[in-house]
Chains A and B, each alone.
Chain A
C-alpha cells in the first residue's frame, strides 16, 4: 500500500533536487494524510488561490492549514471556503498544507497553529475570501468563453450559468482558463442570510476513514527501513542524564543504538516493543538537580505563599475596595485551589524523523506544523528551506501537542542514526510524567455586600504558575500575567470596587495550555465564589448574576438560555438540586446548569447537564454539539478525579489506573447542548463549553449538601460518582 506524495510535495522534491538535495525521493512512503491525496484524485487541476484546486472532473481539493485533533476543523474550514466558492460540496476533498511549500511560497496559508479555539474564528475571513475570489475567477473565465459580461453569470453547485441564455459550464471545464486570471482583490462576501453550508448539518469528511481504521495518525507512520525509538526522560523536571550503562543490553535482539540526550536516554531498535523492553533494562543514573525533594505539599506551600506575600503586582484596581470593605453590611471570604492536570491525549507523544545530510523530514501529530518545522530545523542545525513536516491526524491534542519537545527528541535521535527514519514513541508512563501540566492555581477572595445584598467590592488575590513565563515572557507586564488571570481580570460583572492582584509562582513543574487553559480553573473559583456571595446575600444565584450582567447582553443571553432550557426555578424531585454558572472564553459565551443529587455518604448522581453556548456563528451544528459533549467528558474527568501529584520531584501518577478518565458508564445520560448563536462575531467552540461546568456542578453540590467545594478534585472531598 503506497500513497504517492501529493502534488505540492512532488514539486518540492523537484525544487530540492535542483539544489542538490532530493531527500526521500527513493523512499516509497506510506505516510498518514487525509485519505484524499493525489492517489485518489483522478487528475490534478490548477490552483485557484493557494487554497483551492479545481479538477477537470469537477471535484475540488481544499487545503487545510490547521491540525485535525477531533474538533472537526478539517470539515468546518473547507465549508467556509466552499460556501463562497459555490462548488459541489459532495465533491470536496481535502489535504493538509505542506510546510515546505508554506516556507517556499512565503506563508500563503497564514498561521498553522491550532489552539485557543482559533482555527475557524481566526481564518474564517480569508478562507471565505479565497472561496469568493476563486468563484469570481471561474465566472470570469466562463464569461470570456461565452463573450458575455460576468455580471450576467451565476455560480451554483459547481456549475456556472449564463442567466439570459441559460448556457451552462462546469467549474472543471473553465478551471484552466480561470487559473490564468489575476485573483480579484476585493470580493464581496455573502450575507449570513444567504449561507447554504455554514450553519447547516454536514457530515464530517474525516469520519469514514476513521471507522475503517485507516493509518491516519502519527503513530501509524511506516517508512522503509524505519527504526523505532523508546525514551526515558529524567523523572525530575529540569534534571539531567548522569550516566547510562549501555553495555547492559549490548547484543540483544533488535538493538540498533542507545542514544544519549541531555535529559533523556533513547533506545533505537527494530520494533518499538524491543526498544522499550531494552530501555527498561538499562541502568540509568539521573542528576536530579535542586528539585529532587519537591512534593505536592511543598509546591502548594510555595504557590500559596503568593496569597500571603506583600507587595504583589496589581492587575486591576477600580474604585477603592478597602473603603467599601469598611462600610460593608457583610463580608465574604474564601480560598480556592486547583491542582496540576495531565492532558492525557489517547495517542501518546510521537514523532517520526529522517535526517539525511543537511535535510530533515518529519512526520508529526502536531498542533503547530510550522513550529514543528522550525524546531526540526533548529535541532538538526539546517536551514528551514531544507525541512518538510508532514502533518498527520492527531489522536487528541488538548493543547499538549503545541509543544515541540517530542519533535526535538525525534530529530536528535534521527541525527544519531543518520539516513534512517526513526519513529519515536513515548510510553504512556512517559506521557503521564512529562507533560506541560495545567498549572496549579490558588485564589483568595474577599467581597463586601451592602444591606440590600448587592456586591459592592471584590478583592481577588491570584497565586499561580504562569504559562506565559515559559512560552512568551514578553507578555508579562510589570509582573502581571493577564493570560493567567483569564476570566478574572476581564470578568463580565459590574463591580463598583474591584482589585485584582497577581502573584506569579513558578515551581520546577512545566506548565502549559490544557483545553480551556486558565478558564478551566479560574471560573471554578470565580463562579463558585459568586455563589457564595449570592448565598450570603440571600439571593437566587441566577438572579444575583443577572443583576450584575445588565451591560453584558451576550453573557446574559447564555445565562438566560441555560436557565430557561433547564427550567431554573421550577420544582424538582425530592433530593435533586440545581447549580448554575456562566463564563465567556475563547471569543464565545457559555453558561451551564447541573441537576444533581448527593447521598448522605457522598454518592453523586449527575442527572442532567444543560450547556448554552453563543459562538456568534455556528459552522457545523453537529460538530458544535459534539464539542459540548466532549467538554462535558473532559471537564468532568478533571473535576471528579483529575490530580497530578509529586513526590521527590517527580510525578506520582503513571498510567490510566491511577489517572482516572471518565468511561462510557460514567458519562451523564442527559446532556443538552443549547446553541444560541447571536451572530455578528466569530467565537471558538472547542473550549468555551467547558468553562462553566466545574462551578455549575459544585454549586449544585452546595445546593444539595450545604458543603462548599473549594478544592478539586471531588474525590478528595468525600464525593464519588453514583
Chain B
C-alpha cells in the first residue's frame, strides 16, 4: 500500500510502485483534472504540484509521491473561492478546448508561487506546456493579471 495526500485528503492505494502518479490520480482515485497528453513529460497536460513543485505526473512514479502532498486543479479553489489564476483565466477567456488548461493553470500557479511579478521572459521559461488551440497570448495576459491581483491581496 502506498499512502499519499491528494488535495488535503489521505489515500492508500494498492498499486505497483512504478505506476505513474497520473494514472493513480485518474484511474484509481478518480481525480480527472490532470490530463493525459503524451506520457513522456513533453506536453504538461498532466501537471500537478508535488509538495508545491510543478511536476509532470505522467512521468513521476507513484512511489516518488508516497507520503507526500499532491495538489491538482481540483484542490486549487479554497472554500469555494477560485484561485486568482483561475479567476484571471475566466476574465481573459483563456481556454478554447480546455484540455491542456488544468496543466497550464497548475504551471502558472507554481510560477506565481515563486515569482510574484514575472516578466515575459520568466513566463516564457516557466510555461512550457503545449496548447494546441494556441491560447498562449491570453495565458500570458492572464498571468500578468493574476500577478497584479495577488500583489494587491497580499499588500
Q: Which residues of A contact B (CB under 8 A)?
A: 68-72, 203-204, 206-208, 210-213, 215-217, 219-220, 222, 228, 253, 271-274, 344-348, 393-398, 425, 427-428, 622, 626, 629-634, 655-657, 661-665, 667, 669, 671
B134 touches A207 (CB 8 A): no
Known: A70-B98, A271-B27, A347-B99. A425 touches B130 (CB 8 A): no
B97 touches A663 (CB 8 A): no
**Cβ contact of B27, chosen from A273, A661, A671, cutoff 8 A:** A273
Determine the main DSSP class of A at the interface with B: loop
Cα–Cα distance between A427 and B38 once the two chains are bound (Å):
7
Additional A-B contact list (19), CB under 8 Å, known A213-B33, A662-B136, A663-B127: A70-B95, A206-B95, A206-B98, A207-B98, A211-B89, A272-B23, A272-B26, A272-B27, A346-B45, A346-B97, A395-B97, A395-B98, A395-B99, A396-B132, A629-B138, A633-B131, A633-B134, A667-B134, A669-B120
**Chain B, 91-113, contact with A by CB distance < 8 Å: what is the 0/1 string?**
00111111111100100000000
B133: A residues at CB distance < 8 A: 70, 396, 630, 633-634
Known: A210-B98, A217-B99, A346-B130. A273 touches B40 (CB 8 A): no
Q: Which residues of B contact A (CB under 8 A)?
A: 16, 19-20, 23, 26-28, 30, 32-40, 42-43, 45, 72-74, 77, 82, 86, 89-90, 93-102, 105, 120, 123-125, 127-140
B77: A residues at CB distance < 8 A: 212
A393: B residues at CB distance < 8 A: 97-98
A657: B residues at CB distance < 8 A: 40, 42
A347: B residues at CB distance < 8 A: 35, 37, 97, 99
Which residue on chain A has the smallest CB distance to residue B104? A664
B94: A residues at CB distance < 8 A: 207, 211
B137 touches A211 (CB 8 A): no
Question: Quick one: which of B37, B40, B96, B129 has the most chain A CB within 10 A?
Answer: B96
A664: B residues at CB distance < 8 A: 123-124, 127-129, 131, 136, 139-140
B137 touches A671 (CB 8 A): yes
- Can you identify 5 A-B contacts, CB atoms within 8 angstroms? A213-B33, A626-B135, A665-B127, A665-B128, A667-B136
Question: Quick one: which of A211, A220, A271 has the most chain B CB within 10 A?
Answer: A211
Cα–Cα distance between A667 and B135 once the two chains are bound (Å):
10
B20 touches A273 (CB 8 A): yes
B64 to chain A, nearest CB (A): 15
Known: A207-B89, A212-B82, A655-B38. A662 touches B97 (CB 8 A): no
B81 to chain A, nearest CB (A): 12
A663: B residues at CB distance < 8 A: 127-130, 136
Cα–Cα distance between A347 and B100 once the two chains are bound (Å):
9
**Cβ contact of A203, chosen from B43, B93, B124, B129, cutoff 8 A:** B93
A348 touches B137 (CB 8 A): no
B121 to chain A, nearest CB (A): 9
B20 touches A346 (CB 8 A): no
A661 touches B130 (CB 8 A): yes
Question: Quick one: which of B33, B82, B125, B134 has the most chain A CB within 10 A?
Answer: B134
Known: A211-B105, A344-B132, A346-B45. A626 touches B96 (CB 8 A): yes
B134 touches A629 (CB 8 A): yes
**Cβ contact of B134, chosen from A217, A344, A634, cutoff 8 A:** A634
Known: A219-B36, A665-B125. A211 touches B135 (CB 8 A): no
Cα–Cα distance between A207 and B105 once the two chains are bound (Å):
13
Identify the 9 closest CB pairs spanning chains A and B, nearest first.
A633-B134, A213-B33, A395-B99, A70-B97, A213-B73, A70-B96, A210-B98, A665-B124, A273-B23
B135 touches A213 (CB 8 A): no
B30 touches A222 (CB 8 A): yes
B36: A residues at CB distance < 8 A: 219, 348, 425
**Cβ contact of B39, chosen from A208, A428, A669, cutoff 8 A:** A428
Which residue on chain A has the smallest CB distance to residue B16? A253
**Cβ contact of B19, chosen from A72, A207, A273, cutoff 8 A:** A273
A669: B residues at CB distance < 8 A: 120
Cα–Cα distance between A403 and B100 once the two chains are bound (Å):
22
B134 to chain A, nearest CB (A): 2
A73 to chain B, nearest CB (A): 11
B105: A residues at CB distance < 8 A: 211, 213
B136 touches A656 (CB 8 A): no
A271: B residues at CB distance < 8 A: 23, 27-28
**Cβ contact of B137, chosen from A203, A274, A634, A667, cutoff 8 A:** A667
Known: A346-B132, A348-B37. A394 touches B97 (CB 8 A): yes
Cα–Cα distance between A484 and B42 once the two chains are bound (Å):
34
Which residue on chain A has the smallest CB distance to residue B99? A395
Cα–Cα distance between A657 and B38 once the two chains are bound (Å):
9
A396 touches B99 (CB 8 A): yes
B96 touches A630 (CB 8 A): yes
A215: B residues at CB distance < 8 A: 32-33
Cα–Cα distance between A622 and B94 once the two chains are bound (Å):
10
Cα–Cα distance between A395 and B45 once the two chains are bound (Å):
11
Cα–Cα distance between A662 and B95 once the two chains are bound (Å):
17
**Cβ contact of A633, chosen from B27, B95, B102, B136, cutoff 8 A:** B136
B101 touches A210 (CB 8 A): yes
B73 touches A207 (CB 8 A): no
B95: A residues at CB distance < 8 A: 70, 204, 206-207, 210-211
Cα–Cα distance between A500 and B95 once the two chains are bound (Å):
42
Question: Quick one: which of B120, B125, B131 has the most chain A CB within 10 A?
Answer: B131
A203: B residues at CB distance < 8 A: 90, 93
B107 to chain A, nearest CB (A): 10
Cα–Cα distance between A228 and B102 once the two chains are bound (Å):
23
A345: B residues at CB distance < 8 A: 97, 99, 132
Which residue on chain B has the smallest CB distance to residue A425? B36
Cα–Cα distance between A641 and B131 once the two chains are bound (Å):
16
Which residue on chain A has the smallest CB distance to residue B72? A213
**Cβ contact of B101, chosen from A211, A394, A671, cutoff 8 A:** A211
A346 touches B99 (CB 8 A): yes
A426 to chain B, nearest CB (A): 10
A656: B residues at CB distance < 8 A: 37-38, 40, 42-43, 130
